[in-house]
Chain A
Amino acid sequence: MDFYGFEPSSRLFLGTAQYPSPAVLGEAIRASGAEVVTVSLRRESGAARAGQGFWELIRSLGVRVLPNTAGCHSVREAVTTAEMAREVFETDWIKLEVIGEDDTLQPDVFGLVEAARILTDSGFKVFPYTTEDLVVAERLLQAGCEVLMPWGAPIGSGRGLNNVFALRAMRAHFPDVPLVVDAGIGLPSHAAAAMELGYDAVLLNTAVAKAGDPARMAAAFAQAVEAGRAAREADPMEPRDMAEPSTPVIGRAVLGDA
């Protein structure tokens, strides 16, 4: 597993938003074992300087940051945000979001491909937040992306993997591309399912941040991701329609009227 040459020890990537407090955020990140966390850029007031403390906290945790372009609806906004993020966070990684529809926060895949091309041409390592559409995925790879991040379900919905068929097809179609299920994961079982499908990592935020005990949920996700990955590597059985006794039939005692 290799994301632009970086091999994280954990396949769980965690968002940093919506936690009840900075202290809980710190605990959750530590409990998750995540080495990659997402961050954003927002307007800073010279009086409040709210972002400065947040940045100090993240730096103290020793994790790698993946800045996003969350909320951007146009190619220009996304590109400018990425450029600002590269300077502030001192990384060429960018989680590229170009939002096309507000109810589902579905990516505008046309703008996404265009922005991905511009950014890879200027040296960015783009992690595109995309749909499970194979044609779009191919275009993103042609645009220079070396990682794809299809959604599981709409951002923040917690619905899990809405389209397992398509996610399985994507894995099969791009066996050598690092794939991350990003968005929609609500439970550790969803994360385990993504790993069982052969995804290389999962990225989630709300499921941990909005849990009653975020640190404990973060630990639960860490276990689920490990279990799902181990299951994938162990080559799971295929489901079948008919029952088949697991206990040997031969040698069964005859004890009554047959």
Chain B
Amino acid sequence: MTVRIELNGEPVSTEAATLADLLDEKGYNGAVVATALNGTFLPKGLRAAAPLSDGDAVEVVAPMQGG
């Protein structure tokens, strides 16, 4: 089933059933990232149990330069 979500602010359609599946589908395999679902931190260990629904907002962040 296709769901329409926002990934890092961009609208995307996905077949992924869970956040873990979404990361695999979008090329994040093995990457050091953290995730938030609808503004709430979603720990790595819970991604496989986090279903995606239409309208969900997913944030995927990684280490970056900072001051």
Contacts and interface: CB of A to CB of B under 8 A. Distances in A.
Interface in B27-45: 27-28, 31-36, 39-41, 43-44
Nearest to A59: B63
A43 B35 CA distance: 10
A50 B63 CA distance: 9
A32 interface: no
Given A46-B23, A49-B27, A54 B63 contact: yes
A51 B67 contact: no
A159 to B, nearest CB: 16
A40 B63 CA distance: 6
Contacts of B60: 43-44, 46
Contacts of A76: 39
A67 to B, nearest CB: 7
A17 interface: yes
B26 A41 contact: no
Nearest to A76: B39
Given A80-B40, A84-B34, A205-B67, A51 B27 contact: no
Interface centre among B9, B23, B33, B44 (most CB of A within 10 A): B33
B34 A52 contact: no
Interface in B1-44: 8-9, 23, 26-28, 31-36, 39-41, 43-44
A155 B67 CA distance: 9
Contacts of B49: none
B31 A88 contact: no
Overall SS of chain A's interface: mixed
Contacts of B33: 44, 51, 88
A110 interface: no
Contacts of A130: none
Interface centre among A25, A40, A50 (most CB of B within 10 A): A40
Given A17-B65, A68-B66, A88-B33, A45 B8 contact: yes
A43 B67 contact: no
Interface in A16-42: 16-19, 25, 38-42
A191 to B, nearest CB: 15
A141 interface: no
A80 B36 contact: yes
Nearest to B8: A43
Given A52-B31, A88-B33, A88-B34, A44 B61 contact: yes
B56 interface: no
A106 to B, nearest CB: 16
A88 B33 CA distance: 6
Contacts of A3: none
Nearest to B41: A83
Interface of B: 8-9, 23, 26-28, 31-36, 39-41, 43-44, 59-67
